Structure 1
Amino acid sequence: MQLIAAVDSNWAIGNKGELLVSIPQDKKQFQELTMGGVILGGRKTMEGLPGGTTLKGRKNVILTNRSDYRYSDGVIVHSVEEALEELRRFPEEQIYIIGGEQIYRQFLPYCDKAYITKIDYAYEADTHFPNLDEDPEWEMTHISDEQTYYDLEYHFTIYQRK
């Protein structure tokens, strides 16, 4: 399993239920990486995706504690254990954990790779991704050339579990 996120310079990922910023090249990378695979996200993350529905071309798994929850054609699970059991049904598929904060933290132990877009700016934020730079089990194995979007600078990075 892999994690995929865009983080600011403090590893923040969101504020008041919204992403910190929308960078077209980051969205393009997300689409290219996840297309044809399986994405797992929390209810709020999935409801915040463009179009107000599940993402086409991917199997969508949604983790929520709401027992009666339904969302488009997404597969609904209610615990980490149930999610892992569901994900075992796709042994040949690439699986991406797409957030939010609680989901990232719950699934980090099961992942061995993270695609992180690191934005060189500190936003006001209330949700964060685990800081992989401070985690001795992880190391950055790739960093792209500096990218820019208007006055924003960012890098595409890959972290691997040691």
Structure 2
Amino acid sequence: MNIIVAVDENYGIGCKGNLLVNIREDLKFFKDTTIGKVVVMGRKTRESLPNMEPLKDRVNIVITKQKGYKADGFFIVNSLEELFLTLKNYNSDDIFCIGGESIYSLLAPYCNYAYVTKIHEKYNSDKNFFDIDNNKNWKLIKKEKAMMSKENNIKFNFNIYENTKI
């Protein structure tokens, strides 16, 4: 399993149910990386999707504590045990945890790699990712050169981290 996330300089990931900023190149990277794969998300992330619809051409799984939660086009699981039973049908390399904050924290110990878009700005956020750069369990293995978003002149780069505890 893997993580995919975009973070600002303070590891912020969202505010009031929205992404901090839309960077077209990052959204394309997200789509290209997850298309044809499995995406695992929490209930709030699912409810923040456009029209609350599943991401196209992906297996969409929601993990929630809410018993009886239903959402068309999504597999709903209520525990880690149930999630892992569902995920055993898929190649681990093809599974991506896409948030939010509590789901990243819950699943990070089980993830092999983290695909992190680093946004070179600070935003107001109420949801955060953990400080992966100062976490002894994670090692930066690839850092791409910073680039500028063509749409809104925001500097960012793509990084890959490996979980050294797996």
TM-score by length of 2: 0.93
- Maintained 8 Å contact 2:4/2:98: yes
Distance in 2 of aligned mates of 1:8 and 1:67: 33
- Amino acid of the structure 2 residue aligned with 1:40: V
State whether residues 120 and 156 of structure 2, in contact with CA within 8 Å, keep that contact through their aligned partners in structure 1: yes
CA offset digits 1:111-131 (Å, max 9, x no partner): 010000000111111111111
CA distance in 2, matches of 1:51, 1:148: 29
Contact 2:3 2:104 in 1 (8 A): yes
- Give the Å deviation of 1:51: 4.0
* Residue in structure 1 matched with residue 38 of structure 2 by the alignment: 38
Q: Distance in 2 between matches of 1:3 and 1:93?
A: 10
1:51-85 deviations in whole A, cap 9, x for unaligned? 43001111010011121211121000011221111
Coordinate RMSD, CA, aligned: 1.2
Structure-1 separation of matches of 2:2 and 2:92: 14
Q: Tell me by how many angstroms 1:43 deviates.
A: 0.9
Distance 1:50 1:145 in 2: 31
The yes-or-no answer on 1:16 pairing with 2:16 is: yes
Confirm whether residue 108 of structure 1 aligns to residue 90 of structure 2: no
Distance in 2, matches of 1:53 and 1:47, equals: 8
Query: Is 1:54 paired with 2:57?
Result: no
TM-score by length of 1: 0.95
Asked if 2 retains the 8 angstrom alpha-carbon contact of 1:42 and 1:64, the reply is: yes
Matched residue, 1:76: 76
1:64 and 1:10 map into 2 onto residues whose CA distance is 27
State the 1:136 CA deviation.
0.9
Q: State the match for 1:64 in structure 2.
A: 64
After TM superposition, which residue ranges in structure 1, 4 or more long, deviate above 6 angstroms? none
How many residue pairs get matched?
162
Q: Which residue of 2 aligns with 1:5?
A: 5
Unaligned runs of 5+ in 2: none
CA contact (8 A) 1:38 1:93 kept: no
State whether structure 2 residue 162 is matched by structure 1 residue 160.
yes
